[in-house]
Amino acid sequence: MTNRLAMIKKFIIDSMLIPGFKVPAPNERILKVVLSPDIGFSEDVTLLLSIISPGNSTGKHTHDSTEIMYVASGRGLSIIGDKEQEIRVDNVLVAPKGILHEVKNIGDETLKLVCLYVPALKPSGSYKEAIDKAKQYYESHV
């Protein structure tokens, strides 16, 4: 725990070093958990990177949390409820708790989303696999 506290005191986490979990087809993407109660760096929120290659998508899904997504790179199509809209770098999307949503990469480059969940997600499915990868990294590198 002392090493983790030392890392937090730096206030910088190099997310490129955190291994991701590759979600299998048909909704293939990489999930990287940066912050969550499950890895010890946040009590109230989850911060996750969703890295979607061209032609892939998140698939339609819901959460028990509100999801706020920042488009860091690429372009895509956002479907939140019954609203569809093209998205690009610097757009911010909000998928309220319980609302069906999906993001598709319709561009030629990787679409990277910085996803913030309030309150924090509960571990399950692919997200749990991504937490396990992050835990292994933090335990051996921090």
Domains of the chain: 2-141 (2.60.120.10)
Give residue 142's pLDDT. 64
Kindly indicate the confidence band of residue 22, based on its pLDDT and cuts at 50, 70 and 90: very high
What's the whole-number mean pLDDT along residues 44-48? 96
N- to C-terminal Cα separation, the chain: 9
Buried b (16+ CB within 10 A) or exposed e, 2-33: eeeeebeeeeebebeebebbebeeebebbbbb
Tell me how far apart the alpha carbons of residues 44 and 49 are, in angstroms, rounded to a whole number.
Answer: 17
Q: Are strands 111-118 and 66-73 parallel, antiparallel or unpaired?
A: antiparallel
pLDDT exceeds cutoff 90 at 91: yes
What's the whole-number mean pLDDT along residues 67-80? 98
pLDDT exceeds cutoff 60 at 29: yes
Give residue 28's pLDDT. 96
Give residue 13's pLDDT. 85
Measure CA 84 to chain center.
20
Question: In sequence order, what E strands does the chain have?
Answer: 21-23, 29-35, 46-52, 66-73, 76-80, 83-87, 92-95, 101-105, 111-118
What's the whole-number mean pLDDT along residues 37-63? 94
pLDDT exceeds cutoff 60 at 102: yes
Give residue 4's pLDDT. 54
pTM of structure: 0.90
Q: Are strands 21-23 and 101-105 parallel, antiparallel or unpaired?
A: unpaired
Nearest of 88, 105, 133, 128 to residue 29 by alpha carbon: 105
Give residue 1's pLDDT. 43
pLDDT exceeds cutoff 90 at 40: no
What's the whole-number mean pLDDT along residues 82-104? 98
Q: Average model confidence (pLDDT) for the chain?
A: 92
